[in-house]
Amino acid sequence: MTANAPRTLAGYSLPLSPSGRASMLTPPPWHFSGEVLMVDYRVDPDAAAAFLPDGLDPGADPGAAAAVFAQWQWCSASGAERDHPARNQFGEFLVLLACEFRGRPMARCPFAWVDQPVPMVRGWVQGMPKQFGVVHQSRPALVGVGGPKLAPGGRFTGSLSVFGERVVSASVTVSGLAEHPPPLHTVPLAHTLHFPDWDGGGAPERLVASAVEDVEFSEVWTGPARLEFGAAAREDLGALAPVEVGAGHLFAYGETLLGGTPLVG
């Protein structure tokens, strides 16, 4: 290195380093395989609308919402993370609100929690508001009776705790196979890129859609569901508590997340 050459630090994300390999995040694409417990529900339509930024409309079914628990494994393009279960697994809970962008059905995620730091920061890169929570979720028991069977009568439960308080609890008792995946899990997510302005030079907010490919669903089990927001679901989150609970769904899901596409009104 000579003193006169401009020094460059590399990396997709912080930490930047000489080689770029110290970056906490790998660049997309990111591949995901997950097991999902999802409950359709309805919120007060005005409450839902109040969570939609300019550019998104409530659409054809105002107040349609979903509560989604998932246990994920992920890897980046190299696939290297697949050999590191301490790094490539995480649990997630998120709320989805039905909406439209210029007539195109989409979903808005007002709240999300994950239990690992890498997907949390990766959420912020996308404009997805992932916070940190403790997520638990039943797995299908393949043999034995220690857990629920993925068969009629099997009851699966998800729970979210944040800072030591129970925020959400849900369960689904599967009764049969659905013909289609739940609609709110098939539409693109519309996020708002928003970075706190630290030095007076911050970028403006931008509405973006997540671009995914290689979407894959297993068969979808469905049945009656329970969904409860606890006392710790305060203020804005509390406004999205269920006014009606619909069907629940159990399925596996895979996708590749490619990047973000501006939604220009």
Using CB under 8 A as the binding criterion, the count of chain residues that bind a copy of itself stands at 117
| CA dist., res. 225 & res. 217, Å (int) | 20
Residue 171 interacting with a copy of itself (CB under 8 A): yes
Whether cis (ω within 30° of 0) applies to the bond prior to 85 is no
CA 213/CA 31 separation, integer angstroms = 10
Give the C-alpha separation, 217 to 35, whole Å. 10
Q: Which is nearer to a copy of itself, 49 or 245 (CB)?
A: 49
- Does 200 participate in binding a copy of itself (rule CB under 8 A)? yes
Q: Does 260 bind a copy of itself (CB under 8 A)?
A: yes
229 near a copy of itself, rule: CB under 8 A: no
Is 179 one of the binding residues for a copy of itself (CB under 8 A)? Answer: no
Rounded Cα gap, residues 220 and 164, in angstroms: 32
212 binds a copy of itself (CB under 8 A): no
Q: Does 85 bind a copy of itself (CB under 8 A)?
A: yes
In the window 27-66, what residues touch a copy of itself (CB under 8 A)? 27, 31-35, 46, 49-54
The reply on whether position 77 binds a copy of itself by CB under 8 A is no
Give the Cβ contact number of residue 139 at 10 Å: 12
CB 68 within 8 A of CB 185: yes
Select from 59, 61, 105, 166 the one that contacts a copy of itself (CB under 8 A). 166
Q: Interface with a copy of itself includes 22 (CB under 8 A)? A: yes
Q: Residue 141's beta-bridge partner residues?
A: none
Residues 91-150 touching a copy of itself, rule: CB under 8 A, are 110-112, 116-118, 120-121, 124-132, 134, 136-139, 141-148
Closer CB to a copy of itself, residue 206 or residue 247? Answer: 206
**Nearest approach, Cβ of residue 138 and a copy of itself (Å):** 5
